[in-house]
């Protein structure tokens, strides 16, 4: 069995949908997932997406979101093989333009109003509070594997955040609390001829909706609390809960959201480095990103 069984997955999906063959065209491919456009003999198309653990339950999240009225691409068929998920989905075609901030708040209002769904993992205050401790456990495992030995300052920063986490995580379940997309960026919002669709639900969970709003502008540039405050105000104006602007954990909503979003990202990066990617060659890049985010967390959460 190849490490990436996409060809066999696609065969299974073609059988399930009554198709015999399809021409594959790569759209975006990386080590843990891929997106392709497939064209059938009659000229119709679909999107074939495949992904390995921990991204292997996106089909369930998309079907759930669709059932609850969130505008998402329809899943025609899905299959799992050797820890890899394959999906055939509706082809939304080319986007007519890039999503802007007003598109983002409109989509967030719809998603955050959707009732919560039991199958989704939950990130409540208790879970949020333990993120720095979980990151320290990942660091310990990395050290035991003789990795991240030159990650000076990471352990100290995580210790400091862990000590402040109980107080700073207060307010986690204030509204908006419910569906969190967790990959909420302009590239995950498709603006097409027939309106908008939210894509990329592989890591959706139930938790503080402010984490979505904090992720919209990305993490490449330094965090920008003033810009997020404006975005939060736009969200409330568009029909989002006024509690989105409420202070929490002794901080302004925007500092709380940006700080905890980056702490959430740090824990995910470290788990990825240890479990899912598990390639020492990637360590320098991960260490650099984690250090940068931790510096931001200490500043934003005022630790």
Can you say how many angstroms the Cα of residue 129 is from the centroid of all Cα atoms in its chain? 19
In sequence order, which residues have a C-beta less than 8 Å from that of residue 140 and are 6 or more positions away?
Answer: none
The helix (H) or strand (E) run that includes residue 29 is: strand 23-30
Structure tokens at 104: 């983002």
CATH of 6-89 given 3.30.200.20, 3.40.50.1370, 3.30.40.10, 3.40.50.300: 3.30.200.20
Contacts of residues 28-37 at CB distance under 8 Å and 24 or more positions apart, as own/partner, are: 31/277, 32/276, 32/277, 33/202, 34/4, 34/6, 37/91
Instruction: Please indicate, yes or no, whether the overall pTM of this predicted structure exceeds 0.85.
Output: yes
pLDDT at 26: 93
Of residues 54, 46, 53, the one with CA closest to residue 87: 46
**CATH 3.30.2320.20 describes domain 101-300:** no
In sequence order, which residues have a C-beta less than 8 Å from that of residue 176 and are 6 or more positions away?
Answer: 112, 208, 209, 210, 240, 241, 243, 244
Instruction: Kindly report, residue by residue over 100-124, the tens digit of the pLDDT.
Output: 999 999 999 999 999 988 889 999 9
Of residues 205, 300, 288, the one with CA closest to residue 261: 300
pLDDT at 1: 38
Instruction: Kindly report, residue by residue over 70-87, the tens digit of the pLDDT.
Output: 999 999 999 999 889 999
Residue 32 DSSP one-character state: T
pLDDT at 268: 95
Question: Each residue's pLDDT tens digit in the chain (303 positions)?
Answer: 347 788 999 999 999 999 989 999 999 988 789 999 999 999 999 999 999 988 889 999 999 999 999 999 999 999 999 889 999 999 999 999 999 999 999 999 999 999 988 889 999 999 999 999 999 999 999 999 999 998 889 999 999 999 999 999 999 999 999 999 999 999 999 999 989 999 999 999 999 999 999 999 999 999 999 999 999 999 999 999 999 999 999 999 999 999 999 999 999 999 999 988 888 999 999 999 999 999 999 999 999
Instruction: Report d(CA 134, CA 123) in Å as an integer.
Output: 13
Structure tokens at 184: 């909420």
Strand partners for 122:
206
Contact yes or no for 120/206 (Cβ under 8 A): yes
In sequence order, which residues have a C-beta less than 8 Å from that of residue 87 and are 6 or more positions away?
Answer: 13, 47, 48, 49, 50, 58, 59, 62, 75, 76, 77, 78
Q: Domain-by-domain residue ranges, the chain?
A: 6-89, 101-300
pLDDT at 246: 98
pLDDT at 98: 97
pLDDT at 66: 96
H helices of the chain, in order, are 6-16, 58-67, 101-113, 125-129, 131-144, 154-168, 210-215, 225-237, 253-271, 283-300
């Amino acid at each position: 069995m190849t490490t990436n069984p996409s060809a066999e997955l696609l065969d299974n999906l073609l059988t399930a949908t009554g198709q015999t063959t399809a021409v594959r065209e790569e759209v975006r491919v990386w080590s843990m997932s891929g997106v392709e456009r497939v064209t059938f003999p009659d000229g119709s198309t679909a999107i074939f997406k495949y992904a390995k653990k921990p991204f292997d339950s996106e089909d369930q999240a998309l079907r759930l979101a669709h059932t609850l009225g969130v505008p998402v691409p329809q899943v025609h068929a899905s299959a799992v093989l050797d820890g890899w998920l394959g999906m055939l989905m509706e082809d939304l075609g080319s986007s007519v333009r890039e999503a802007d901030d007003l598109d983002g708040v409109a989509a967030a209002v719809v998603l955050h109003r959707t009732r919560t769904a039991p199958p989704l993992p939950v990130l409540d205050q208790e879970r949020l509070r333990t993120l720095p401790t979980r990151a320290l456990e990942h660091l310990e495992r990395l050290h035991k594997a003789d990795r991240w030995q030159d990650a000076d300052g990471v352990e100290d920063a995580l210790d400091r955040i862990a000590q402040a986490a109980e107080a700073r995580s207060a307010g986690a379940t204030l509204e908006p609390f419910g569906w969190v997309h967790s990959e909420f960026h302009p590239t995950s919002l498709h603006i097409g001829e027939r309106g908008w669709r939210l894509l990329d639900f592989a890591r959706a969970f139930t938790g503080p909706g402010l984490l979505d709003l904090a992720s919209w502008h990305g993490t490449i540039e330094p965090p920008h609390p003033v810009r997020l405050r404006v975005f939060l105000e736009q969200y409330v104006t568009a029909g989002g809960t006024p509690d989105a602007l409420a202070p929490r954990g002794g901080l302004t909503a925007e500092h709380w959201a940006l700080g905890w979003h980056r702490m959430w990202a740090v824990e995910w990066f470290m788990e990825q480095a240890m479990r899912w990617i598990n390639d020492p060659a990637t360590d320098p890049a991960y260490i650099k990103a984690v250090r940068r985010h931790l510096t931001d967390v200490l500043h934003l959460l005022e630790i």
